[in-house]
Structure 1
Amino acid sequence: METETVTIPAPEALRSPAIGDIGNWFARTPIHDASRHGNVPLLKQLIDSGVCVNLVTVDSITPLHEACLHGHIQCVKLLLAAGAQVDARNIDSSTPLCDASAAGSLECIKLLIDFGAKVNPPLFTASPLHEASMSGKSDCVKLLIDLGANLEAHDCHFGTPLHVACAREHLDCAKILLNAGANVNAAKLHETALHHAAKVKNKDLIKMLVEFGGNVYARDNRGKKPSDYTWPNSPTARCFEYYEKMPKSLSQLCRVNLRKALGQGAIEKVSKLNIPPRLREYLVFNEL
């Protein structure tokens, strides 16, 4: 049986990128390239030949970042086994776990966690939960929450994961976050998730946020309510007009306040309540 031969680049080809290469994709080294393309045989030979698995480019991207961003689980296994830094940060402060979350790779996320990756990075930087919410990877959002991801992690550019999910119109992700206990009225420069929903003109998203207790009267740093970002007489404008004029029902007020009291993990707590199934369904927003 013939064995596939892989040509290993000359040592000078494995150098770190020069300053003049900033911003150029070709600044990536062969080990970065093998990780990005999922070339397991080449990656293995490079590692066996002594190439450092923690080589960084000028933007601090490691081979592990590349493998995770493209969901190449076998490459991730090789790199981690060879000593790749599991929480390495690139120039944007993203870790390999952030990249795996953006790619929607559950396998990579679980493997990184097994090797000690942090689900919650320092404050004011994008978290894996932000990345999964931004990319609409609802399965990853749920997994990260189950792993203890901070629902109120605050990025100085994006706000909370809920802000990101709403700005990108990922309703499934937004509902998972809300059901897990995310603060529907969390603000970035006084801007709430409802402001984002109004800006993207998503009526279904607006309805869901209001049902979860979103404040239609909240004003951002420009003094504008969510409805101020809609076109006159548009479906979203009429939606806000209805919610601004109609008081919440007693059942809705009770639901919102009970969910607030239960806090994070409310769904699990509701499932243990000795109440009729229909009421239990109402408390977990299954009608939305």
Structure 2
Amino acid sequence: MVPAGSCGSTASRGRSGASGIGLSPQAQLRSADGAGLTVRVSPCRYGADVDVNHHLTPDAQPPFSRRLTSLVVCPLYISAAYHNLQCFKLLLQAGANPDFNCNGPVNTQGFYRGSPGCVMDAVLRHGCEAAFVSLLVEFGANLNLVKWESLGPESRGRRKVDPEALQVFKEARSVPRSLLNLCRVAVRRALGKYRLHLIPSLPLPDPIKKFLLYE
């Protein structure tokens, strides 16, 4: 899945092979050909899964599920690689896991040597602007997963980090997060991503509902 262009109704880049017509919500989110993609807003709003399902079969359960060993199949990673902030935010609002964007187990030890170890790591490596980092912080990403000090000089030299983004990351990791933000993350996780689209129907004041929806 390669998010690019506008997410307003259909985002595409390169060839226009993936139209998403007749596909399930999940398929519409993931449908793509070699260089094109369809990402639709409606599936996200109605509870489609925005995390990668890495099970061998749809019904497979641990220990029969495969472990994620690369972020390159993850929608958040790809939208960051294309610097598509609109799609990146849409996926997070819809409940995408801000650390690995994956359902099921993750095997970070199996990641390719020198490859990003989490979504935040990928955002920084790809030189994304500070807004990407801020979004991950707001949506509760684990900042301790970024282990740059363990990389060799060669790996560090290949990075094209945005200075402002790096500064935002360092500041976020050096100070405790606000109780307000932690509460929002906790409430959203308690609801679960499949129920986030029901927040507008909760018997709560509109400002609180918008706060929970990051609107």
| TM-score (normalizing by structure 2) | 0.63
Q: Alignment partner for residue 177 of structure 2, among 248, 253, 269? A: 248
Q: Alignment partner for residue 53 of structure 2, among 153, 156, 160? A: 153
Unaligned runs of 5+ in 1: 1-98, 121-126
Contact 2:72 2:78 in 1 (8 A): yes
Shift of residue 231 of structure 1?
Answer: 5.5
- Higher-Rg member (1/2): 1
Counterpart-to-counterpart distance in 2, 1:280 and 1:222: 40
Of structures 1 and 2, the one scoring higher in RCO (CA 8 A, sep 6+) is: 2
Q: Alignment partner for residue 194 of structure 1, among 120, 131, 135? A: 120
Verify: 1:181 aligned to 2:71, yes or no: no
Give 1:63-212 correspondences, 5 Å limit: 103=16, 108-110=19-21, 112-113=22-23, 119=26, 129=30, 131=32, 140-145=39-44, 146=46, 148-149=48-49, 151-154=51-54, 156=70, 158-186=72-100, 189=111, 191-201=117-127, 202-212=129-139
Identical-pair percentage: 21
- Are residues 151 and 231 of structure 1, via their aligned partners in 2, closer, same or farther at CA, if it must alter by over 3 Å? closer
Shift of residue 266 of structure 1?
Answer: 4.2
Choose 144-153 or 274-283, whichever is displaced more. Answer: 144-153
Unaligned runs of 5+ in 2: 1-11, 55-67, 101-105
Counterpart-to-counterpart distance in 2, 1:268 and 1:153: 20
Partner SS state of residue 182, structure 1: coil
Counterpart-to-counterpart distance in 2, 1:197 and 1:103: 26
Shift of residue 223 of structure 1?
Answer: 3.7
- Are residues 142 and 153 of structure 1, via their aligned partners in 2, closer, same or farther at CA, if it must alter by over 3 Å? farther
Counterpart-to-counterpart distance in 2, 1:283 and 1:104: 35
Shift of residue 136 of structure 1?
Answer: 7.2
* Poorly superposed stretches of 4+, deviation over 6 Å: none
Larger helix proportion of the pair: 1
